[in-house]
Homo-oligomer: A and B are copies of this chain.
Amino acid sequence: MRRTTLKDIALRTELDVSTVSRVLNGDGALRISERKRAQVLQVAEELGYSPHLPARSLRLQRSFNIGYVLSELASPLPIQGDLEFSVARFRIYGLEEALSGRGYLLSLLRLPATDPFALEEKVLRRRLVDGLIYGCYLPAVETLQKLERAGFPVVFLDPFPPSALEGARLSSVCSDRKAGVQSAMRYLWTRGHCRIAFISSRTNVRRLAGYRSALEELGLPLDLRLVKLFDPPRENSYMARAAGYRRMQELLQEGVAFTAVQAGSDATAAGVLDALQEAGCRVPEDVAVIGYDDVEGLDGALFAEPFLSTVRDPNFEMGIKAAELLLAQIEEGAQPESALLQPELVLRASA
């Protein structure tokens, strides 16, 4: 069974393929009677027409493929790439959703930084893709410059660290993690918490900034004894729970008063809960705890009671937004743009 083509519709409507094409594309210079237009639309619907991508690509000199950049086998931070790939899932779903809805395919493209020609070859010369999404990895500086000079459509999806993009005229989509933590802190404050600890990996700079800003905004003093940071290379994602556990133990031993904990991640928060439970503290009665990330299955079987309140990055929406920004550049020649999306406070039992 063959695909249905414009020709099939043209035959059935006794019109020319060009006319059918114009109707279906809503050509600007279109002049066609309403009756025939309706007929075309109906027949197209009946036959389940959808344009043949390769033919369209050939004609329009666009691939209708967007490249999602895969880089090194080993990323600079040992577990970073892995972790990012894992949370990147929802962003990727968003990307795929938005792109496929507009006739594009999201293709994985390996562009190792160790191979400076890969970009030149696959992207700039062969034009395998119409645009690039950098999700987990930042490219080398020369790559960045090359893309910028070529004016090639690129979007950085939650780049880490964000400062690496400074000055580059390239699009990016980020979650406003600072605001996310701020809103969590504000919530804690409305519940009467004035002494709030912050336990997190040192890499979570935006979340730390949110913590500090919130204190300032709420008129609370910054007590450094309540801030516990750990180093990601030594205490990585597999150890985030253990790290949270230890830092919480320390905090309890040090005897500094506090009534709430904002953790840098859900895994860390889980460790915090472990330590609190061990110490006989009730959550949220004695101590309120809020995590970050909203790890999948969080309110399912992932963590023991109490279900963790947390902050959720709008990952799916970030993917959608990134796709929109990229397509705007590709199809309308729009200028690069940076978008900051708002995370959501998810209240469950722990705060």
B58 touches A54 (CB 8 A): yes
B105 touches A110 (CB 8 A): no
We find that the number of chain A residues with CB closer than 8 angstroms to chain B is 58
Report A278-310 CB contacts with B as 1/0, cut-off 8 Å: 000000000000000001110011100000000
Partner pick for A86 among B63, B82, B295, CB 8 A cutoff: B82
Which B residue's beta carbon lies closest to that of A62? B54
Partner pick for A108 among B50, B96, B233, CB 8 A cutoff: B96
Query: With the chains together, A317 CA to B29 CA distance in Å?
Result: 53
Known: A70-B92, A74-B296. A55 touches B53 (CB 8 A): no
B89 touches A108 (CB 8 A): no
Asked if A85 is at the interface of the complex by the 8 Å CB criterion, the answer is: yes
Asked if A57 is at the interface of the complex by the 8 Å CB criterion, the answer is: yes
Partner pick for A110 among B74, B97, B234, B297, CB 8 A cutoff: B97
Asked if A126 is at the interface of the complex by the 8 Å CB criterion, the answer is: yes
Known: A105-B65, A302-B78. A127 touches B89 (CB 8 A): no
Asked if A212 is at the interface of the complex by the 8 Å CB criterion, the answer is: no
Q: Which of A37-57 contact B (CB under 8 A)?
A: 48, 50, 52-57
Known: A79-B302, A110-B93, A295-B238. A63 touches B70 (CB 8 A): no
- A118 to chain B minimum Cβ distance, whole angstroms, is 10
Can you identify 28 A-B contacts, CB atoms within 8 angstroms?
A50-B126, A53-B57, A54-B55, A54-B56, A54-B63, A57-B57, A58-B58, A65-B65, A70-B96, A73-B90, A74-B297, A78-B300, A78-B301, A79-B302, A81-B296, A83-B86, A85-B86, A85-B89, A93-B110, A96-B108, A100-B110, A100-B122, A105-B107, A105-B128, A106-B107, A236-B297, A236-B302, A238-B241
